[in-house]
Amino acid sequence: MNVQETAAEQGFRAEVQAWMAEHLCGEFAALRGAAGLGAPGYDAALAKRWEQQLAVGRWTGLGWPQAHGGRDLPLGQQIVFHEEYVRCGGPGRLGHIGETLLAPTLIAHGTPAQQQRFLPGILAGTSYWAQGYSEPGAGSDLAAVRTRARLDPDSGDWVIDGQKVWTSWAHESDWIFVLARCEPDSVRHKGLVLLLVPLRQCGVSLRPIKQITGGSEFNEVFFDGARTEGSLHLGAPGQGWAVAMYLLGCERGASTLGQQAHFRAELDDVLDVARANGAARDPLLRQRLAQAALGLQTLRDHALRVSGAPGDARAASIAKYAWSNWRRNLGELAMDVLGGACEAGPDDAVCESLQQLWLSSRADTIYAGTNEIQLNLMAERALGMPR
Amino acid sequence: MNVQETAAEQGFRAEVQAWMAEHLCGEFAALRGAAGLGAPGYDAALAKRWEQQLAVGRWTGLGWPQAHGGRDLPLGQQIVFHEEYVRCGGPGRLGHIGETLLAPTLIAHGTPAQQQRFLPGILAGTSYWAQGYSEPGAGSDLAAVRTRARLDPDSGDWVIDGQKVWTSWAHESDWIFVLARCEPDSVRHKGLVLLLVPLRQCGVSLRPIKQITGGSEFNEVFFDGARTEGSLHLGAPGQGWAVAMYLLGCERGASTLGQQAHFRAELDDVLDVARANGAARDPLLRQRLAQAALGLQTLRDHALRVSGAPGDARAASIAKYAWSNWRRNLGELAMDVLGGACEAGPDDAVCESLQQLWLSSRADTIYAGTNEIQLNLMAERALGMPR
Amino acid sequence: MDLALSDEQQLIVDSAVAFLASSSTLAKVRVASETGDGCDRALWQEVAAMGWCGVHLPEDAGGLGLGLVELALLQEQLGRHLACIPFFDSVALAASLLRSLPGSAQTAALLGSLASGEQMLAVAMAQPDADLQWAACASANANANAIPSASASASARAIANGAGWLLSGYWPAVGSAHLADVLLLPAHTALGECLLFAMPADAQGLSLQPLQAVDATRRSANVRATDVQLPATACLARGPALDQAWQRARCLGAIALAAEQVGVAQACLDLTLAYTAQRVQFGKSIAGFQAVKHRCAQMLVALEQARSAVYGAAAVADTEPAAAVLLLHAAQARMEATQAALYCSREAIQLHGGMGFTWEFDPHLFLRRAQLASQRLGPVSWWCEQVAVQLLDEKPLAEAHP
Amino acid sequence: MDLALSDEQQLIVDSAVAFLASSSTLAKVRVASETGDGCDRALWQEVAAMGWCGVHLPEDAGGLGLGLVELALLQEQLGRHLACIPFFDSVALAASLLRSLPGSAQTAALLGSLASGEQMLAVAMAQPDADLQWAACASANANANAIPSASASASARAIANGAGWLLSGYWPAVGSAHLADVLLLPAHTALGECLLFAMPADAQGLSLQPLQAVDATRRSANVRATDVQLPATACLARGPALDQAWQRARCLGAIALAAEQVGVAQACLDLTLAYTAQRVQFGKSIAGFQAVKHRCAQMLVALEQARSAVYGAAAVADTEPAAAVLLLHAAQARMEATQAALYCSREAIQLHGGMGFTWEFDPHLFLRRAQLASQRLGPVSWWCEQVAVQLLDEKPLAEAHP
């Protein structure tokens, strides 16, 4: 147990700061502090150039093994990077799904050929990935997969038919990993395959989903005879479920500290408004603001306590449940701090961003496993209660 | 819709006030304001004499038909009585189960002989009843009845074997109505009988249950070859479930307004302490105190809205859920108002009574159908959701 | 004593339900709110033709001669349908204020055109001042003026001149201001007295700044007046009479707003029951999961308790109660209805899962209304603090019920 | 940076778990608390023999030379077992206060006998003054003295005389006072300066009034001194040094108390999982009902979050942080742990159904501890208001993490 930074960590933090100061400027100044990937007017092309800039600075693949081009840094330094990056105004990371979810899974379950083919593009910020799990009519029930994949005996390709939904950033991605049913009569978790599929092909079409925020970060993805090479299954065909679950388990650890640094910036906005508009003199709002700040500190402590312990089945669901409800509460608090002045006149950017916080936070307790699913998981897996 | 008292109601209120002032004195002064039947030092013999005094004043059976010795008063006057009774310091009613639950069921489902035998004693305050529904291992699952009843061919009596639990005031009661299984191979709601059984017999033994309040209002009741006359089934043998449910449905209407008047007295105690100890200057506690007062007003409004509409399946569960959670919150608020001084020195009666409020209120959301059972009932019966 | 609906009241509800089911579908609401100014003028015409705009006004003022209970019943159904008309601002709030003022030819004329639906009105009734509230709380003094008077709303100045009054000022976030034909605006004289003015929407020097619509079905605008010349008759009231009317209108408006919130909560429960019944996950309708059932049941409790509170408060308001009694019941209705509307709209989104987060599905429309309504006329914490003053700081109030 | 337990720390936990599982069963707790004075002296002897009473004291003071983290780990397990010993009052609170004072022969002697378990101590650390708090809030001024100084605890008077000090006063609800060999009592001089005194329990003129035990496993008493003559050396500290030590001890005590609350929450979850697994209703184990599962999962979230907060706060406290940083982390630990203990103990009773309401079943023992602990050293609202002062009223604090 150690809450103080080592000298190495302090040095590393200074390094991050210096690099960010030197590079998050010029054309990239427009990205500064752009926490929400889905914010109106978001410039994805610029965000990709920024990812490439990060790669040049060797800020991608920090935790990857050196054999795969990573830096294999200790957890403490990874934490330092993710926190300091956001503190320096670093924008939301478009490469997140590839770097944080797919890459560790490729490293654990991919073939050497797959690793050599895909990891360099992820590392360099030149190749972007989307996630094809949820299907219409089966949002939280991931095992209810109806998308079908079959090997075409003529070409040797996989041919995919079906539909995925809630696919973030498919419209800006190059590839998608798709959980599909490869054994026609199989049910539930059996007979699935996880395929790596190029998005830019005529067998794939997208329909953006308009969200209550007004933005369209999510998509429906339609596969109509879409194809990918016969070798591009991740893990063995029929065993796709285990690989898919491994991938979901990567959604914790150091990168969540970066997310929390974003939350801190959002909280600071709310505190600023409260100081400015007099809400800071309301004893009830003062309590809620203090609770929000303390709760965020707890999210951080929790991540620091469990990040090093990969065996703790409780950790991922607890963290997801805790942060999503924390942020949803922050959204409600933001609106109450705005009070009667919660509607913005023209050019009131702060008010608008708090509205976006409020609306977008309603999704936090729904996507990536609803509150209800997380509670089921905790009860059954962590507490051993009956299914 | 009418929230103003009619002239008749106002006159009736004055009548109640005058009578109470004249009679709740002398030996009965000790009962004044004794809201909780289970309070330490409770004098049950005195409470029974008070019930008899009320009967002499014709304050029992207010809503019963005149044919059964009641006064058949309109709902408005019944409400006035129950509210004013408590405001005048009237103590908790030991005859409640007989007068409010059993009597209406006897009138609806009993034989003329049963009515003539039992109603006069209830009306006169000379005969007290306990309720034998719950069984060990089946608290909320009322239909899981294992207590057996069989007709003894020799004597013609019912013979009862089994056990009931959570039986309020069995130790002060003369009779108990017992839900028992009269068809040996029946399951769940079928094959039950509701029997009227004398408590003072050698086949019946009691064990008081010590509660977290320190008191023992509840009992376990053991039936070991207990007997009652062969004619003392309420409704047809085998149809006991429907009669038992009818009885539970009587737990609403005018008498709940009396309960609310008790709540008001408890709330007033909390307000008094807050004014005295400075908690009334804490803006957070002020909010909670105001919410408690407003919430109690809502319980009353709700009772006034639904008391007249017997067909509303939603009403009973909503009212039970709402009042029990309201009072549980009041108990927590009481302790927080006491704050660090929540432990009483000798002779600190107010502090002690708030502690009792806090502890006793933990049972409110458990007995007579837990929160969880009430929510199930509302979802299934009122909202038509699947079982 | 009872709070069940009378046969006549049930008839009003039934006819409102039937009328709005066809005249204010959510499809129509989306047309009115996503294009145009958020007002469905055809609906307004129909509503006016049925006499709803004068439902709680006396017959000699052109109304139907009914009470706040009947107004609340209509508001409940309008809220349930998110009807895109300024009924709350014009009928519930402005008419309640005008009625509470000392009678005059001007108020009678305004009430007449309001009752017929010919004119829409808006009132610049700002949020109560939070600082004032908590100052009272901290000093723990009974504060007889805890309810902000009209003056707290007015950062505006009125100067008497030969032609009448010269008015300048800024009134933020005035509900339905962009639709109103006449705006009711408070302003101070140089001596600090507060006056209420009726200002025509087309007055020279008046300008509106529409606000970004969080709830596009219920919009507001900032109002600015720069040296607007008004005739002497534009001043409707002043002094203590205005203060009393203002406080009374805030309470009556709060009860009507609460009724609308009950409608919002009901709509959210209805949407959720319908969606969860047909949505299948893990091989069964999600309405069969206990977590979903319990949440819906809790929505039902909140909703029905709120409905009882609102009907009770409206019934009390119709008995011409003392100001303190009216305040207590208005606070109760606001507390219960705000809680119900927020809880039900939030759960509606959650229980719709991913669909609840799409623009296409309806729950977010109600979430927006619920959030905005939670702040109109003061947040619940403000109302509760007023009640706490009565409960804790003042001598016991003569009980509402004898 | 990480907050996982080191191997040594895990060893401490494991040995405490094993020891208390046999030495402080709930059966033994009931004997100690339902008969006698609520103290299991045999347990205290064993605990002292293992060196726990000096766990966080330096080795030269007779301690084990470990830190607040290790103290918190022990407190967590003691709370989980409701161990009937005055460990919190004597070791967590009194020792933390003594350590924070300027060194002296007297404090060293007291620490030595405390670390060996030879003497039990108690501190009259009253609730923070609520009025002071909210006055600061209403005026919205940064209030550097928002943490009540020792003086706020002292309605007592100390008069210097030839023999030393003459002490009179009343200190309400002093934790474990009836068990203490020495009481640490603050008092004022006539000039208003605050002093801290060590008073032997057998001093002439000292009287105790035990309070009715809501939580019979953790009792307190009102303390009254009437013209007690103390030697000059009985005064341990005064002035700003005392104020600083007092504030620091309140924070350290709060973190230790929070650790105990985590143990209470854990015990409640354990009891509930065991009971619901074996309890059958409607033909199945109630642990299979989704409503029960979700409640247990929410208990788990509250518990694990609280544990993380407490470990984090204790780890920060061991780095000798600035007073403002320590306050922030103490508040965090208190908020999360209070919430977890109250939630889990309340749910434990509810999910035990009728059994939860009986004296015989154990949940109520934990409910009592949870409620009392929620008020010791100030309620969560007080801690949050102190944080709000930092967040909203003062210049931004230098960040706790660089």
ipTM of the complex: 0.94
Say how far apart CA A35 and CA A19 lie, in whole Å.
19
Name the one residue in this structure whose structure tokens are 């089946």: B138
Catalytically annotated residues of A? 251
Say how far apart CA A53 and CA A28 lie, in whole Å.
10
Name the one residue in this structure whose structure tokens are 């407190």: D75
Shortest distance, CA B348 to any CA of chain C (angstroms): 22
Do residues A277 and A334 make contact, with C-beta atoms less than 8 angstroms apart? no
Residue A371 is nearest to which of C130, C222, C350, comparing CB atoms? Answer: C350
Could you tell me which of B317, B299, B295, B318 has the C-alpha nearest to residue B257?
B299
- Mean pLDDT (chain B, rounded): 90
Residue D291 is nearest to which of C134, C139, C291, comparing CB atoms? Answer: C291
Helix (H) or strand (E) holding C168: strand C164-175
Could you tell me which of D57, D67, D128 has the C-alpha nearest to residue D90?
D57
pLDDT at B187: 87
Q: Does residue B147 surpass a pLDDT of 80?
A: yes
Query: Is C134 within 8 Å of D139 when comparing Cβ atoms?
Result: no
Say how far apart CA A247 and CA A109 lie, in whole Å.
10
Name the one residue in this structure whose structure tokens are 């030379």: D65
**Distances from the Cα of C167 to the Cα of C177, C232, C241, D126, D260, angstroms:** 17, 11, 21, 57, 64
Angle between helices A283-306 and D323-351 (to 10 degrees): 90
Query: pLDDT in tens for each of the 402 residues of chain C?
Result: 789 999 999 999 999 999 999 999 999 999 999 988 899 999 999 999 999 999 999 999 899 999 999 999 999 999 999 999 999 999 999 999 999 999 999 999 999 999 999 999 999 998 776 555 555 444 433 333 344 455 555 578 999 999 999 999 999 999 999 999 999 999 999 988 999 999 999 999 999 999 988 899 999 999 999 999 999 999 999 999 999 999 999 999 999 999 999 999 999 999 999 999 999 988 899 999 999 999 999 999 999 999 999 999 999 999 999 999 999 999 999 999 999 999 999 999 999 999 999 999 999 999 999 999 999 999 999 999 999 999 999 755 444 343
Residue A298 is nearest to which of D140, D297, D308, comparing CB atoms? Answer: D308
**Arithmetic mean of pLDDT, D116-144:** 68
Name the one residue in this structure whose structure tokens are 């054999």: A67
**Arithmetic mean of pLDDT, B213-218:** 86
Residues of B whose CB is below 8 A from A287: 284
Shortest distance, CA D97 to any CA of chain B (angstroms): 20
- Mean pLDDT (chain D, rounded): 91
Residue A2 is nearest to which of D2, D331, D393, comparing CB atoms? Answer: D2
* pLDDT band for position B13 (cuts 50, 70, 90): very high
Residues 6 or more apart in contact with residue D350 via CB below 8 angstroms: B362, B365, B366, B370, B371, D295, D356
Under DSSP, the state recorded for D48 is H
Interchain contact B294–A (C-beta under 8 A)? no
Q: Does residue B341 surpass a pLDDT of 80?
A: no
Helix (H) or strand (E) holding A162: strand A158-168
Shortest distance, CA D83 to any CA of chain B (angstroms): 20
The DSSP annotation for B17-28 comes to HHHHHHHS-GGG
Shortest distance, CA C283 to any CA of chain A (angstroms): 9
Shortest distance, CA C138 to any CA of chain D (angstroms): 6
Say how far apart CA A354 and CA A348 lie, in whole Å.
10
Chains touching chain B at 3 or more Cβ pairs under 8 angstroms?
A, C, D
Name the one residue in this structure whose structure tokens are 């299984």: B181
Q: What percent of chain D has pLDDT over 90?
A: 85
Contact pairs from chain B to chain C, CB under 8 Å: 168
Q: CA-based Rg of chain C, rounded to a whole angstrom?
A: 21
Chain D nearest-CA residue for C294: D291
Question: With b meaning 16 or more CB within 10 Å and e meaning fewer, what string describes C56-84?
Answer: bbeeebbbbebbbbbbbbbbbbbbbbbbb
- HEC profile of A52-86: HHHHHCCCCCCCCCHHHCCCCCCHHHHHHHHHHHH
Number of Cα atoms under 13 Å in the Cβ half of residue C27:
3
Neighbours of C22 (CB within 10 A): 8
Q: Which residues of chain A have pLDDT under 70?
A: 34-40, 139, 251-255, 308-314, 346-347
- Joined together, the tokens standing for residue D285 give 């184990």
Looking at the DSSP assignment, which residues form a beta bridge with residue A182? none
Q: How does pLDDT run across B352-368, given as a tens digit for each residue? A: 889 999 999 999 999 88
Q: Does residue D351 surpass a pLDDT of 50?
A: yes
Say how far apart CA C102 and CA C98 lie, in whole Å.
8
Say whether D223 sits in a helix, a strand or coil: strand
CATH architecture of A7-94: Orthogonal Bundle (1.10)
pLDDT at B211: 92
Which domains can be identified in chain C, with CATH numbers?
7-118 (1.10.540.10), 128-238 (2.40.110.10), 241-399 (1.20.140.10)
Interchain contact A280–C (C-beta under 8 A)? no
Kindly list the residues of chain D whose beta carbon comes within 8 Å of any beta carbon in chain B: 126-127, 130-131, 134, 137, 172-173, 209, 211-214, 220, 222, 280-282, 289, 291-292, 346, 349-350, 353-354, 356-360, 364, 367, 371-372, 374-376, 379, 381
Say how far apart CA B219 and CA C93 lie, in whole Å.
57
* pLDDT band for position D143 (cuts 50, 70, 90): very low
* pLDDT band for position B199 (cuts 50, 70, 90): very high
Active site residue B251: yes
Do residues D352 and D275 make contact, with C-beta atoms less than 8 angstroms apart? yes
pLDDT at C397: 43
Q: Report CA D200 to chain centroid distance, whole Å.
A: 22
**Arithmetic mean of pLDDT, D104-128:** 94
Helix (H) or strand (E) holding C161: strand C157-161
Query: Is D291 within 8 Å of C290 when comparing Cβ atoms?
Result: yes
Q: Does residue D137 surpass a pLDDT of 60?
A: no
Q: Which residue has the higher pLDDT, D180 or B44?
A: D180
Query: What residue segments make up the domains of chain B, in order of their start?
Result: 7-94, 129-238, 252-382
Phi-psi category of A169—alpha, beta or left, where left has phi over 0 and alpha has psi -120 to 50? left
Under DSSP, the state recorded for A221 is E
Name the one residue in this structure whose structure tokens are 């669901």: A317
Say how far apart CA C28 and CA C44 lie, in whole Å.
13
- Joined together, the tokens standing for residue B164 give 């009931």
Could you tell me which of C274, C201, C192, C185 has the C-alpha nearest to residue C235?
C185
Say how far apart CA C20 and CA C80 lie, in whole Å.
9
Chain A nearest-CA residue for B288: A284
CATH number assigned to the domain covering B252-382: 1.20.140.10
Q: Which residue has the higher pLDDT, D129 or B16?
A: B16
- Joined together, the tokens standing for residue A174 give 């190059």
Which of C129, C371, C374 to probe by mutation at the A interface, max A CB count within 10 Å? C371
pLDDT at D129: 65
Do residues D128 and D147 make contact, with C-beta atoms less than 8 angstroms apart? yes
**Distances from the Cα of A251 to the Cα of A263, A320, A362, C89, C117, angstroms:** 17, 9, 20, 49, 58
CATH number assigned to the domain covering A129-238: 2.40.110.10
Say how far apart CA A276 and CA A286 lie, in whole Å.
13
Do residues A218 and A209 make contact, with C-beta atoms less than 8 angstroms apart? yes
Say how far apart CA A45 and CA A125 lie, in whole Å.
12
pLDDT at D282: 83
Residues of A whose CB is below 8 A from B284: 283-284, 287
Residues 6 or more apart in contact with residue B332 via CB below 8 angstroms: B358
Residue C379 is nearest to which of A141, A336, A351, comparing CB atoms? Answer: A336
Query: Is C381 within 8 Å of B287 when comparing Cβ atoms?
Result: yes
Angle between helices A283-306 and B283-306 (to 10 degrees): 100
